[in-house]
Amino acid sequence: MKIFLAQQNYHIGNFESNTNKIIEAIRDAKSRNADLIVFSELSICGYPPRDFLEFGDFIDKCNQALEEIKEHTADIAVLVGAPSRNINKDGKDLFNAAFFLYEKEIKAEVHKTLLPTYDVFDEYRYFEPAFEWNIIEFKGKKLAVTICEDIWNLGDNPWYRLCPMDLLMEQKPDIMINLSASPFDYTHYEDRKAIIKANVLKYKLPMFYCNAVGSQTEIVFDGGSFIFDKQGNIVKQFPLFEEALDGLEINDDNTFNEPVVENVSQLPTHELNPDRLIPALNIDEIYNALVTGIRDYFRKMGFSKAIIGSSGGVDSAVTLALACDALGAENVRAILMPSPYSTNHSVDDAVLLSKNLNNPYDIVPIKNIYEQFLDTLKPIFKDLPFSVAEENIQSRTRGNLVMAIANKFGYILLNTSNKSELATGYGTLYGDMAGGLGVLGDCYKLQVYELAKYINREREIIPQHILDKAPSAELRPNQKDSDSLPDYSVLDQILYQYIELRKGPKEIKALGFDVPLTDRTLKMVNINEYKRNQFCPIIRISPKAFGVGRRMPIVGKYLI
């Protein structure tokens, strides 16, 4: 039997595009003598559809697409993902389903059992777990079909009370097939290898694993589908961040004639969940995830041009370089807005950066507008000393200017704030926190510097002076980030322990971090939840990103 996997980039709710993409892949696989083609989880509607699932019309359109796809299965079988209505009165109204189509009929329907409700997932909000578990018989093979989370309940501390594969093994299957929509983070690719390997070794069956690719607002899917033999070796490895269609013929004895691509003993040995922030860890994958996130956000929303406030600092430099890669340099406009406190070298650095990238840029000084603000406010401010109020006026002036240009010419503003700043509230609402998409909002400052090095790996694109100088908002004379924040080499490690690893203050201090500094850092994180709650969507690259995957009360008292 020849089984193909279709690793595709879907558009949530774009049924025409998704359906055409699926049908085209079916035709392609059929021309290559495939017996079965497998698509990813909820491929018909795109993942995650979230509250679209509450609309009956949305489910009707899924069913209409399924009917259209079914007509192309006369002599090739198809496993495709879509929501399915629950005809039972008990439980939720829908299942997260995989439909087995063949001979223009729905031959079988598999329901997802394990419904994740952690991090970015909220599937039990919409779906009912499976009531029954049955293998699918096809051309002399017994197929054990599962959906994403169904294969993740292994290990010493399982999150669920059963494993669907344990139940399916009672029917003596020959092959495991998993339809997945497993998001990217910078450790998850290796996690996936490990969990698939663990399933293969436990059940002693080969595994065909099909993952989605592409970005859906803040969530990036990296693809990286696999075919494993029953010894736990990879015999087919799909690319990351690319669509792909490929497959293998499996023999009667459930073996492959293909050479092993990667042996179990050769799997990477670094910790899958490091206990400290390693800024350079998988930086190439992070770069590709961010480019994918920008490109798909614009393409799927119908946008084409971006605008960025370019300060001459490393955050805006990295954001600009990423955007130029994602959208084309000609479609990314940089606006340099020097204030009375901006240094000449910052402007020069920003100009040189745009010349290196060959993107259009403008210089719009804010000195006159800033002074008009101060003159207007003088009767109210009187002679009170310079404070954060004057700093924020500069930042909000820049926000107004760049948004005015964006509105006039149809640009989308890309935000340049990093995770260290967002964690500690080091930003101005409606100023430098404005934007349609947060590019670096899940990258700590140390990771931003590593991204800059990666961008410069072949030639100097980001001027070296940007990387060498001390970070500064340049909103008052001789200002440095270190005036308000701990050194990033320490700060980022504390933040990582608290945000990603969810360690409490006692645990963090026990690691050797300064006691007052730890208390001050955690307080900054928690008192600034209101700022992050008003922030734009952030491209997720870590196991715990700000946004839908981290839900904290704004008015909570914890550690404040």
One-character DSSP codes across 172-231: --SEEEEEE--B--TTHHHHHHHHHHHHHHHHT--EEEEE-EEEETTEEEEB--EEE-TT
Token duo for residue 407: 């509105």
Mean pLDDT of the 89-118 span: 97
How deeply is 205 buried, as exposed, middle or buried, from its count of CB atoms within 10 A (0-12, 13-18, 19+)?
buried
Summarised one tens digit per residue, pLDDT across range 290-344 is 999 999 999 999 999 999 999 999 999 999 999 999 999 999 999 999 999 888 8
Please confirm, yes or no, whether 163 is among the known catalytic residues: no
Q: What percent of the chain has pLDDT over 90?
A: 91
Averaged pLDDT score across all residues of the chain:
96
Cα 560 to Cα 557: distance, rounded to the nearest angstrom: 6
Model confidence at 269, in pLDDT bands (50, 70, 90)?
very low
180 forms bridges with which residues in the sheet? Answer: 211
Cβ of 445: how many Cβ atoms within 10 Å? 24
* pLDDT score, position 344: 84
Residue 148 annotated among the catalytic residues of the structure:
yes
pLDDT at 443 over 80: yes
- 178 DSSP β-pair partners: 146, 209
Establish how many alpha carbons lie within 13 A of residue 560's alpha carbon, considering only the half-sphere containing its beta carbon: 12
Residue 475: pLDDT band (50, 70, 90) is: confident
- 306 three-state secondary structure: strand
Predicted local distance difference test score (pLDDT) of residue 125: 97
Residue in 30, 41, 445, 500 annotated catalytic: 41
Q: Do the Cβ atoms of 313 and 343 come closer than 8 Å? A: no
What pLDDT shows up at residue 40? 98
Q: What are the tens digits of pLDDT across the range 490-509?
A: 999 999 999 999 999 999 99
% of the chain beyond a pLDDT of 70:
98
Q: What residues are paired with 215 via a beta bridge?
A: 220
179-183, 257-261, 369-373: lowest mean pLDDT where?
A: 257-261
What single letter denotes the amino acid at residue 547? G
Is the peptide bond prior to 48 cis by the omega test (within 30 degrees of 0)? yes
The Cα 13–Cα 63 span in angstroms is 13
Helices (H), ranges, 302-414: 314-327, 344-357, 367-381, 388-409
Active-site annotation holder among 61, 70, 123, 148: 148
Average pLDDT over residues 29-43: 98
Mean pLDDT to the nearest integer, 136-159: 95
Bridge pairing between strands 136-138 and 207-211: unpaired
User: Which among 30, 112, 300, 419 is annotated as catalytic?
Assistant: 112
Mean pLDDT of 356-379: 97
The residue type of 260 is V
- Which token pair is 212? 């989605």
Q: Shortest CA distance to 225 belongs to which of 5, 32, 46?
A: 5
> How many other C-beta atoms lie within 10 A of the C-beta of residue 48?
22
Degrees, nearest 5: CA angle 131-132-133? 140
Tokens linked to 23: 């049908």
The three-state secondary structure class of 420 is: helix
Using DSSP's 3-state secondary structure scheme, residue 84 falls into strand
Query: Does 421 qualify as catalytic in the annotation?
Result: no
In DSSP notation, 498-544 reads HHTS---HHHHHHTT--HHHHHHHHHHHHHTHHHHHTSPPB---SSS
- What domains sit in the chain, N to C, each tagged with a CATH number? 2-262 (3.60.110.10), 283-485 (3.40.50.620)
The predicted model gives 94-110 an average pLDDT of 98
**What is the pTM for the complete model shown?**
0.96
Q: What angle do CA 60, 62, 67 make, to 5 degrees?
A: 95
* pLDDT band at residue 463 using 50, 70 and 90 as cut-offs: very high
pLDDT computed for residue 264 by the predictor? 62
Q: In what order do the strands lie in the sheet with 437-438?
A: 361-363, 332-336, 306-309, 412-415, 437-438
